[in-house]
Structure 1
Amino acid sequence: MSTPTPIPSACDEVHTRVENRIGFIELDRPQALNALSLQMIRAIHAALDAWRDDPQVLAVVARSLHPRAFCAGGDVRFFYEAGRRGDVAARDAFFTEEYALDHAIFTYTKPYFALMQGVVMGGGMGISQGAHRTGGMRIVTETTKMAMPETRIGFFPDVGASWFLARTPGALGRYLAVTGATIGAADALYAGLADAYLDTSAIAALIEALAHAPLAGARDVCACVDRFVSRTAPVAHRRQGDPLDALSLSAARGWIDRHFSQPDVAAILASLESEAEPGGREWAQEAIRTMRDRSPLSMAVALEVVTRAEGPMSDCLRRDLDLTRSMFDHGDVIEGVRARIVDKDDRPVWRIARIEDVTRAEVEHMFVSSWPLDGHPLHHLLG
């Protein structure tokens, strides 16, 4: 077996190396739950570029060196501060490079495996969900806490997540986008947002096996991983204090499909308020309470971005970048981050206070691009 070969990086929060013909990407920013900084994004992308055409690299494994989180998202404080000081160039650079990385993973030509241990939210979904398209796997554990919780801070489910949410069964993707509900391993598998399950106690053994197994090709890597994972998961432990997550997606599926298939957020709310089925009424009331806490405009945008995600991933990511401009210029993200993360008073004053007052024109306005198509920062993305 060859000695591990590190890939040079100016970022000490991401370690990249090649061992036994496998490229390892290891996130190491525990104090921020591996939230992605611009330097981390660049380090990951540089490694993927170096390995893409290297015949000595058969596959890529992305994981965290810390059990609490795979990746909790993007560096929210960075783009909040950039927005506060009006530094549009810095903000655009962050999102442009983040989405370009997500696309590189989605279109990668070698199997990419994401070990989704602990918190997997926002940007963490961006660097994991694409594994499904590469011949690799999205692997969840008993500690996985997966969500696109952006409506809570006045943003929207970005990083191309709308492409995956739009392809979940029934109205699950619309529900997850609007409410930002957190799901565990079993629900992720049920929704098609994960491919396999691995208990955290087996992660070290898997990494050790990959480092020593005889590997002649990518199929050998996949076979090695297959020996450790399962296609089903034990019933996930629900988070205490979060009643909306008290039921599994499969148990709530009928109610989710009934209510979240409605054409807009106001209609979803009205449908939930009409729920009278035993058990469904209690679930619907929790969903209503959650929605009343979120940004009305952000929920409307979240629903629309999933609705529009039937095209290629490249279109979704260009649309996401357009929306970052709109959400900072005309939306609630600055106020949402202030209230939830910076000041932590938990009292956001949303620009449109009531769900019922969000108009179609307001939603359409958010999707207007700031760039011509041939001048778009992500115009070069294909597929």
Structure 2
Amino acid sequence: MSSPEPTVIVEVQGRVGLITLNRPKALNALSLEMIRALGAALIAWREDPGVIAVAIRGVNKEGPFGAFCAGGDIRFFHQAALAGNPELEDFFTEEYALNHLIHTYPKPYIAFMDGICMGGGMGISQGASLRVVTERSKLAMPETNIGLFPDVGGGYFLSRCSGHLGEYLALTGRVLQGREALSAGLADGHIEAQRLPNLWASLGSTPFENGEAVQRWVESHLQSAAPAAPWPMAQVNAAFGQASVPAIVAALEAAASDAWAAETLATLRQRSPLMLHVVLEQIRRARGMGLADDLRMERNLVRRCFHLRPGAASETVEGIRALAVDKDHSPRWNPARIEDVSPEHVAAFFEPPWPAFAHPLRALG
């Protein structure tokens, strides 16, 4: 019997470490096994003088590229939360440590974000020294749709978008096409997808002098000019700069004759009311935090997501049930309305579950 293919393919070609996410049926959704494989490769290559740069891509059912990473394995989250599986805790601790490793990596780390790149996929690409998109790219942090928050450093990188764009993307989960990601500051360059296989092959066959030369080579194939933003930035700032979620909703209602405002309002009304409030607070706090402190805060938040109301009562477990398990797309949010979320509901998420000396991510610099 042939052994199953690895879910992460790790190889060194020439002087470049090449990583391929290889779980196409799940759109390369990250498992704990995959997170561990990624971390092990990056730590080994960090000290290896034979590896001067790293590149990462995904595969789809047809072959290389076409899908990057759809996020964390939410069906695993659902099963693990209901079963009390301790690997759920390991998953988030190790995933966030991996995100930190990527953001602080001392060698060029180039992410080819072709196809879907959401949630956990953003976590392993936003810290890259070069973020490459194509006409097939679909970027988003859609966690409020499953009763979660934009984690994996989402507080850090979304809060650094211009104006209040970060709040807009975090609360609505809007999907960005490739060139739109350039406009949002969430990608560095664009290339036609059909050119990726040759560019990838050249990474292993070109005699690069150093890591910077690898990155310059890839950059020379990219278009970096960002188009005009497709969202009305003045309206985004006016609405999402408000002090609270009810105030954001009121601002959108006041402008509801405008198509963008009406569509945005309708989207917010479908999201978890509780997590909209939590996410607004998360982004606002993260704006004043460094990466390590943001990841520690997010580790606290995700613990609360699964344990403030354990098992099936968790907003996150219910959101995943509705989207990915029963697929009835009718989550029973609790509280049910944006207006019913109290400051106490929100504050509970930000109470640290651990003392600082025992925090699972205390060692992050």
Pair 1:42-2:36 in alignment: yes
CA contact (8 A) 1:209 1:224 kept: no
The letter of the residue matching 1:200 is A
Tell me the CA shift for residue 166 of structure 1: 0.5
Pair 1:346-2:332 in alignment: no
1:119 counterpart residue number: 116
Counterpart pick for 1:362 among 345, 351, 357: 345
| CA distance in structure 1 between the partners assigned to 2:88 and 2:289 by the alignment | 26
| CA distance in structure 1 between the partners assigned to 2:289 and 2:258 by the alignment | 36
1:19 counterpart residue number: 13
Tell me the CA shift for residue 11 of structure 1: 7.6
CA contact (8 A) 2:132 2:190 kept: yes
CA contact (8 A) 1:338 1:344 kept: yes
| CA distance in structure 1 between the partners assigned to 2:218 and 2:41 by the alignment | 21
Question: SS of the residue aligned with 2:258?
Answer: helix
| CA distance in structure 1 between the partners assigned to 2:205 and 2:323 by the alignment | 45
1:313 counterpart residue number: 291
Question: SS of the residue aligned with 1:306?
Answer: helix
Of 40-49 and 329-338, deviating more is 329-338
CA contact (8 A) 1:105 1:130 kept: yes
* Deviation readout 1:227-267 (Å, 9 max, x if unpaired): 2111036x7xxxxxxxxxxxx84442121111011111111
CA contact (8 A) 1:113 1:139 kept: yes
Pair 1:375-2:355 in alignment: no
Q: TM-score, normalised by structure 2?
A: 0.93
Q: How does 1:153-168 map to 2 (within 5 A)?
A: 153-168=146-161
CA contact (8 A) 1:265 1:299 kept: yes
Counterpart pick for 2:84 among 72, 86, 111: 86
Question: SS of the residue aligned with 2:127?
Answer: helix
Counterpart pick for 2:270 among 287, 290, 293: 293
Q: TM-score, normalised by structure 1?
A: 0.89
2:244 counterpart residue number: 264
2:23 counterpart residue number: 29
CA contact (8 A) 1:129 1:164 kept: yes
CA contact (8 A) 2:296 2:362 kept: yes
Tell me the CA shift for residue 168 of structure 1: 0.3
CA contact (8 A) 2:113 2:134 kept: yes
Sequence identity, in percent? Answer: 47
* Deviation readout 1:2-50 (Å, 9 max, x if unpaired): xxxxxxxx98010001111000010110000000000000000000011
2:67 counterpart residue number: 69
Of 103-112 and 61-70, deviating more is 61-70
Tell me the CA shift for residue 68 of structure 1: 3.6
CA contact (8 A) 1:58 1:218 kept: yes
The letter of the residue matching 1:103 is H
Tell me the CA shift for residue 117 of structure 1: 0.4
CA contact (8 A) 2:30 2:69 kept: yes
Root mean square deviation, CA, Å: 1.5
| CA distance in structure 1 between the partners assigned to 2:315 and 2:216 by the alignment | 46
CA contact (8 A) 1:33 1:68 kept: no
CA contact (8 A) 1:196 1:231 kept: yes
| CA distance in structure 2 between the partners assigned to 1:15 and 1:302 by the alignment | 34
The letter of the residue matching 2:71 is G
Of 301-310 and 373-382, deviating more is 301-310
1:4 counterpart residue number: none
Structure 2 alignment gaps of length 5 or more:
309-313
Counterpart pick for 1:149 among 100, 122, 142: 142
Distance 1:140 1:79, change over 3 A: same
Question: SS of the residue aligned with 1:353?
Answer: coil
Pair 1:130-2:127 in alignment: yes
| Runs of 4+ off more than 3 Å | 248-251
1:244 counterpart residue number: none
Q: How does 1:159-198 map to 2 (within 5 A)?
A: 159-198=152-191
| CA distance in structure 2 between the partners assigned to 1:250 and 1:96 by the alignment | 36
| CA distance in structure 1 between the partners assigned to 2:164 and 2:338 by the alignment | 19
Question: SS of the residue aligned with 2:10?
Answer: strand
Tell me the CA shift for residue 312 of structure 1: 1.1
| CA distance in structure 2 between the partners assigned to 1:162 and 1:366 by the alignment | 15
| CA distance in structure 2 between the partners assigned to 1:351 and 1:205 by the alignment | 50
Question: SS of the residue aligned with 2:122?
Answer: helix
Tell me the CA shift for residue 186 of structure 1: 1.7
Question: SS of the residue aligned with 1:206?
Answer: helix
Tell me the CA shift for residue 223 of structure 1: 2.0
Q: How does 1:227-246 map to 2 (within 5 A)?
A: 227-232=220-225
Tell me the CA shift for residue 65 of structure 1: 2.5
